[in-house]
Each structure stands twice: as structure tokens, then as C-alpha cells.
Amino acid sequence: MTALVYTLGVVLFLSGLLASIALHEVGHMWPAKKFGVKVTQYFVGFGKTIWSVRRGDTEYGVKAFPLGGFIRMAGMLPPAKDGGGGSGGRANSGGFFTRMIADARAAEASETNATPEARHFYRQAWWKKVIVMSGGPMMNVVLAVLLLTGVFMGIGIKAPTLTVSQVSDCVIPASEGARACRVAPDADPDPLSPAREAGFRAGDTIVSLDGEAVSSWDAFSTAIRDKAGQQIDVVVERGGQTTTLTPTPLVSERPDLEDPTTFVQVGFLGITPDETRQRQDAGYVVATFGDYTKRTGEALLHMPERMAGVSKAALGIEERDPESPMSVVGASRVAGEVASDERIDVTDRWVALLTLLGIVNLFVALFNFIPLLPLDGGHIAGALYEAARRGIARLRGRPDPGYADVAKMLPVAYTVAMVLIVAGVILIWADIVSPIRLTG
């Protein structure tokens, strides 16, 4: 049964990912067609074609390796300025890059010569190019917003309440993880928890702290962290009556609220709150989405150094950092583990899977906005450069410099593509030999 549920989790995640890829390409194709650009192909996947059908100008289909998708538009590359095949018209002379650009122009020309120039992508106004190339990643942003909104506002998330669920028997430093309490006559017994010593019980509901009403668990917990070594008065509701308890929080090693991977010495009481599922408002969605966006952007900035760590893990040199990037293989494995973990209730499994898919869509969007070809951001940067160059020429009364020749950036595009392929292979291998596991 567990294997079946694991497989179901993987299939559901991959299905959601394929749908996201397909919609990403729709985000490019729809505005392109609206602007009159001829879209010759729309495919999900790469490699050998498994199935395809032609509707009007466009061939729609699925290819063997579902690792992405693409649309092909007529006239992605403008012709050389002098009408020749290469960068400067020398198709059979010049260096390696000159011949590379010439071959790319020739290959595209053979497919699009029969298409009126007005329907070529390069002939479109710069703002139309920006809309077409932004459409894909913006579709991923929309999907991420819809998925996370559905989770936070529709299903709800578990949030701590002011009701006590458990009372710790002792104080154990957070860096030592989960272990049993050491008690006398051990040589170094753990101290009794202040909550246990003060008489807290499961089911108590916290009412006030030092005479101030408490509105949330987060506010209560933050206050306790600042009161190490100070006796406090905590009023709790118990069995319909209020009781005042007077614990003294001990100094203990706890995760930093700003950076949970580091530990700080703060006040510790020793109670765990009960949790209930609560639907959040739009403000929570906006704040959380902003936080996810910030963290995803930071992850992209640190991608090169993190890939170095992944490479070492793939070679068995060091342990895999749980914060390191994953491939589709790794994300699918996590989805399967979450789906089959019987310690997690069914609703929480759905929350985890939908949140994972939302975060993946957000990552895909931000990654594609990187201003390098062959990513969408590279084409957007080319269109903005074209707009700036033409605008400056107009202001200075100079002739129109024409369309930006993105073909000259093909060497960069091929280099970036090669780097991405190598990085993808390393990630997949690391996810096989040294996977990240989110469940124990």
C-alpha cells in the first residue's frame, strides 16, 4: 500500500509539473498569435516526437523527455544586416562563432522564408516581444499564486494555538535533537523543565503573561525567549477556572528565529502548543508569497556555490546540504515520500504537495527571468536593449538602428545551454546517489 501511495504521489507531482510546463508555453504562444506572429510548433518535452497534430499554422505535440517544452515562432532571428547568411554575410568564412551564427540564420530562413515578414517575431514592436517572452514565466507566477492561495485560503494551514499540547519533562539543547531525558543518577542529568516544575498541564490555555493579555502563541513564545532567569506570572484557564503559575524560564539553546540553522541562548519554558488548521486571509498570502519570492531569489544568487556542494555530494566527498537545489527526480522523490508518510494526515499531505508545486512554479518563473539566452529573460533583455537603442537614436536625431540582432548572442546561448545541461545531469545524479529526504 505504501509503495502504491508513493507512486501516486510521484505521478500526481509529475502531472502537475507537466501541466505547468504546458501552460508556460501557452503563456508564450497565446500573445504571440494575438500579435500575428506565426507559431509553427508547440511541444511539451524534448527529443523524439511521440505524438503530434497540426491545427492551422501550428504543430502541437508531445516529445519523449518531459523535461521542459518549447514553441517555435517564425523569424526569431533577424537576417544579417547586409542580407547575407552570417554575421556580416560571410557564411563560409570567418571564425567558428561567425559560422555558427550563419548556420543558425540559414536553418531558420529555410523554415520561415514562406512566411510574410510581418508575421516574423523579430519584426514586432519591442513591447510586443517583451509581452510574448514574459508570458511564459508570468504564467508560472500565476500558477504559483493560485496554488498557494488555494492552500492558504482554501485548505488552511496548521497554526499554533494558546492551548498546551505537551509539557516537556526536561530541558534538552536544540542542537542535540530528539532524545530521552538524562536523569539522576546520570553524571550530567538534564534540568527539569520550568513548565513541569511550575505545574503546567496538557489542556491549559494561556490567558496572560505578567498581567498582559496574550493574543497569539508567537507573541507568547517571543516574550518567553526574552525572560531567561526571570520569574514570571502566567495565568492559564484550566477546567473552566483560571490558575496562576510562576515559572522561571531557563537559558537554553534554541533555533534563531531569523535563521533556524543557527542556535542562540534564550529563555525556555518547555511547553508545546496545540495546533489547529486555520484559513488565512489575503494579507497572509501576499506576505508569504513575498517571502517565498525573496528566498527563491536568494537561492538563485547562491546557485553556483550550492552546485559546488551538490557536485561534492554526488561524488561522495561530503554530505548533501538539505537546502541545496534538486532536479525533477529529487522533487518527485520528495513528493512520493510526503504522499506515503502515514505519520502525516491526508490533508497535510495535499498541503505539502500543492505547496511544493507552487514553489517549483515560482522558481521556474524567476529562473526564466535571468537575462541570459536561451532563457526568456535573454530575449526580454534583447527587446529592452532594442527599445533603448532606438529611443536614444530618436532623441539624437540619428537614423533608426533597426532591430536588435540577438543572433550575435548565440555563442552565449549555447554556452549557457551547455552549463544548464551539465548542471542538470549533476543534480539528477546527486538526487539518485545522495537524495534530500524531508521525512525521517
End-to-end CA distance of the chain: 18
Distance CA 158, CA 438 (A): 18
CB 9 within 8 A of CB 336: yes
* Encoded amino acid at 259, one letter: D
Please list the residues that pair with 164 across neighbouring strands. 273
Q: Of 25, 108, 337, 386, which residue is the catalytic one?
A: 25
Per DSSP bridges, beta strands 263-268 and 250-255 are antiparallel
Distance CA 331, CA 254 (A): 29
* Encoded amino acid at 264, one letter: V
Distance CA 227, CA 214 (A): 15
DSSP letter at 321 equals P
Distance CA 167, CA 234 (A): 15
Distance CA 227, CA 251 (A): 9
Whose CA is closest to 259, among 298, 290, 293, 285? 298
Assign 263 to helix, strand or coil.
strand
Q: What are phi and psi of 252, to 5 degrees?
A: -145, 160
Residue located via cell numbers 506572429: 37
| 25 catalytically annotated | yes
Distance CA 220, CA 233 (A): 12
What does R_g of the chain's alpha carbons equal in angstroms?
29
Q: Quick count: other Cβ atoms within 10 Å of Cβ 138?
A: 19
Peptide bond into 374 cis (omega under 30): yes
Residue ranges with strand state E in 193-240: 205-209, 212-213, 234-238
Length of the chain: 440
Q: Quick count: other Cβ atoms within 10 Å of Cβ 161?
A: 16
Catalytic residue numbers, as ranges: 25
